[in-house]
Amino acid sequence: MNRLFLVLRGIEPSDPSLKKLRNRLLFINIAALTIVVAASMMIVYLTTYNRVQNEIEKRLREIPAGVSENIRLWQGIQDISDVFGLGSEIVSADGGVIVGGSVDFPIDYSKTFVANISPKGQITVFSLIEMSDREYFGAVQLALAGGNARGPLLIRGESWHYKVGTTTLMETSGVEEYQTSVVFLNTDEESGRLKGLALSLLIIGLSAIAVILYLSYFLANRAMVPVQANMDRQRRFVADASHELKTPLAVITMNGEAAKGTTDIREITENMANIEAAATRMDSLVRNLLTLAREEETKPVVSAFDLSAVMEEEAGRVEAILFEKDIRFVFEKPEAPLIVKTDREKLKMAVDILFDNAVKYTPAGGFVSVIIRPAAGKAKPQIIVKNTGAYLSLEDRSRIFDRFYRADKSRNSGTGGHGGHGIGLAIAKETIHGLGGQIRAESVLIEDGTAVNQFIISL
């Protein structure tokens, strides 16, 4: 369970600068996504809100400001008030049913009522809703105080929308009299839906932000993994390069001091030879480092050429050396020319490193073979360099292309990589990757305790 949590949590970067970079990325990511989520939720809510308001407006327009079938009548008695000039109290009529004609409007009168106010301040309420006179009168007061607003009003703990209008009451001696009509509509259900929607959107939004925060944290940590690995490799590179340079510098210093403290020509000559060898080693290391740096920056010069012919030419360079070391050499190529398009010189440099490695690590009596394979199906053209030598463990094969890594774990300049510094295979890897290809190492243990190692370049 703990392992699962650590995997889901992601790998924390150990470098403080990377943690700051991760936190900055998290802040920007969360801020941007929060804005997007909030805006999306707001759009959903406002769209729904406008649709509900339009429905309410439509229903308010459909309610007639008059008497329909089976509408009970409340009649207010005029008592001029200071605010509205309306009756201060609404008293119920005898509860009789007033029939206003044969028209039956398709209105749910259990959720609506109408109040008409005559020019003399008389209030007539048409309703099927059981409310007290004071509640009706309070609703009319609130509606008239709101003017042209649509509400909602809070009546008996429920939400009501209303519409205030003016209708012609009668015409006397050429003078028209008007009455004010207020139509009320119970919208408690709609308000509840909107509140429920707002709560749901809030919960969904907060949950989405929480999930996004967690995933962003996890992905940010994962994104820092290659950066952290690269920084670790750079630190190891600097440390290893310092170590490689420190050894010849120490040799130069010690032999220089020894040469100054003696007059023996033979000792001086020996000291100077040691200084020259150390300087040559340093020069080789610096050249390799510069080559590695250039390989990461320079672009390949692509041309078409016969891969078999070029590799045969390069193999001929080491064949004589292998013969002198009693190492058998085999070269295999396809019968037809194998034309490839890549950087010829860069490819030759990478293959030369593999050849030098094979020469260095193959014992007397062993063999080195170079195999050129044409493309087949999805497989790309390959260059395979095989040699007998020490077995490469799984760890060795995974790290053998790292800078300054030596499979034999020794620091002897006579072994381990191009020029004895452990960066030859790193140069080969950077070169092949720069050409868009891949390189890998394989090792198969054979019966006599040795192994057959092979390096495969796929173009």
Quickly list DSSP for 82-128. Answer: TTTSS-S-EEEEEEEEEP--S------GGGEEEEEE-TTS-EEEEE-
| Gap between the Cα atoms of 88 and 228, Å rounded | 80
State the pLDDT at residue 386.
93
Alpha helices in 159-187 (DSSP H): none
Taking CA atoms, 335 is separated from 303, 332, 378, 385, in Å, by 22, 9, 21, 19
pTM for this one? 0.49
Domains with residue ranges and CATH for the chain: 2-58+193-225 (no CATH), 65-188 (no CATH), 300-458 (3.30.565.10)
Most confident of 80-94, 291-305, 347-361: 347-361
- The enclosing H or E element of 431 equals helix 424-434
State the pLDDT at residue 107.
53
pLDDT digits (tens, 9 = 90+) for 50-103: 998 888 888 888 777 654 333 344 433 333 233 333 333 333 333 333 333 333
In the structure encoding, which two tokens stand for residue 164, read together? 């205030």
Taking CA atoms, 395 is separated from 150, 391, 392, 441, in Å, by 77, 11, 8, 11
DSSP conformational letter for 400? T
pLDDT digits (tens, 9 = 90+) for 235-253: 776 776 776 777 788 888 8
State the pLDDT at residue 142.
85
